[in-house]
Amino acid sequence: MTGPRSAVVFNPVKVGDLEVLRRTVIEGLATAGWPEPSWHETSEDDAGRGQALQAIAEGAELIFACGGDGTVMAVVTALAGTDVALAVLPAGTGNLLAANLGLGTDAATGVEVAIEGGRKRIDVGVVGEQRFAVMAGMGFDAQMLEGTSDVAKKHIGWLAYVGGAAKHLLSNPMRVLIQLDGGQPLRRRPRSVIIGNVGRLQGGVRLLSEAHPDDGKLDVAILSPNNLGHWIAMGWAVLRRRDRVPRMETFTAQHVLIRSTRPQPRQLDGDLIDAGTNLEVTIQHQALLLCVPRPAGDPDLTYDVSVAEANADTIRTAVADNTA
């Protein structure tokens, strides 16, 4: 076996059939002459960071993250600033990083993407000791996540977030000061402030059309709808990909500080963190080495994954033959 040493960090709650996952990864790597990976299960106390650090200490050169957005974010936190590559094996509901960068929608494709050897360095956002690859937010977006049940996500997927959003459409706005790169604070009463490294939300909705994950900048959206009509107008403009979205301001910065008059719900990469009065975000430029499909597609890293998906059929066939 001549391939790189790898490890799988997986969330057993999100993985539907662990034995199928094991066979998919092992058979897929075997087709390329790679050795079997080590396996590291997440826990309630550690969503994946400690497991990824252990795998690195044991010599892993590539780590597969298999779980929801929280698992991926924990592994990103461990890998940022290293030369260890991340490969995503989608298993949760949101799968925000995979959806934004066209990494495929199933484990077999994720394995094939890693084997193909496409690698790209992308930026990560920094909040305290945590790193994120997609976006951070304070306000309505975190409220939506808070109001969405795991049961609903399991049964109807990303559509469950619609119910979570409906519960908070008419909640009170925040009172915040937003400081960009140390400049004059902006005084606003928004419903949500979203800080993006890439631009797509749950369900593939593209909120930040100019966001690129390797440009060294954070894209900031300040959403300030005051009634149902404002929400409808804003949503329609986003869906139609209009250049100007009513009730939404956008900025770019490398350092974003949001200060609220009272604690607000907060999220990183679609995963809730503790509520707080502040959210401070900086950028770590091209800190994460990510496995991406070949050939590369358009400039915003929405790769053409069709080749990997086609090649992944070989992996699926091998798994099916061994299962029969």
290 to 63, 79, 183, 253, 284: CA distances (angstroms): 10, 10, 33, 23, 14
Q: Return the percent helix, strand and coil in the chain, to nearest 5.
A: 35, 30, 35
pLDDT tens-place string over residues 4-30? 899 999 999 888 889 999 999 999 999
Q: Token pair 């469950």 is at which residue? A: 160
Determine, yes or no, domain membership for 123: no
* CATH number of the domain residue 112 falls in: 3.40.50.10330
Residues 278, 168, single domain; the answer is yes
Is the confidence at residue 146, as pLDDT, over 90?
no
Q: 178 and 203: one domain? A: yes
Do both 141 and 243 map to the same domain?
A: yes
pLDDT in tens, 225-281: 888 888 888 888 887 777 788 889 999 999 999 999 999 999 998 888 999 999 999
Cα separations in angstroms, 242 against 208, 228, 238, 292, 300: 11, 19, 6, 29, 18
The verdict on 153 and 259 lying in the same domain is yes
Query: Does 10 map to a domain?
Result: yes
Residue 262 and residue 136 in one domain: yes
Same domain, yes or no: 152 and 276: yes
Same domain, 275 and 297: no
Write the CATH number for 154.
2.60.200.40
Q: What is the pLDDT of residues 77-135, one digit of tens each?
A: 999 999 999 999 987 666 788 888 878 778 888 999 999 878 999 999 999 999 999 99
Do 231 and 268 sit in the same domain of this protein?
A: yes
- In the DSSP assignment, the letter for residue 279 is E
Q: Which domain holds residue 49?
A: 6-117+293-323
In a domain, 1, yes or no: no
Q: Per DSSP, what are the bridge partners of residue 289?
A: 85, 121
How many domains does one find in the chain? 2
Q: Are residues 106 and 53 in the same domain?
A: yes
Residue with tokens 């496995």: 291
- The continuous run of DSSP H or E covering 31 comes out as helix 18-31
Q: Are strands 6-10 and 38-41 parallel, antiparallel or unpaired?
A: parallel
Cα distance between residue 75 and residue 131, in whole Å:
9
Q: Regarding predicted confidence, which is higher, 143 or 157?
A: 143
- Whether 308 is in a domain gets the answer yes
Task: Tell me the pTM.
Answer: 0.84
Residues 69 and 141 in one domain: no
Contact 103, 113 (CB under 8 A): yes
52, 144: one domain: no
Residue 100 maps to a domain: yes
Do 311 and 268 lie in one domain? The reply is no
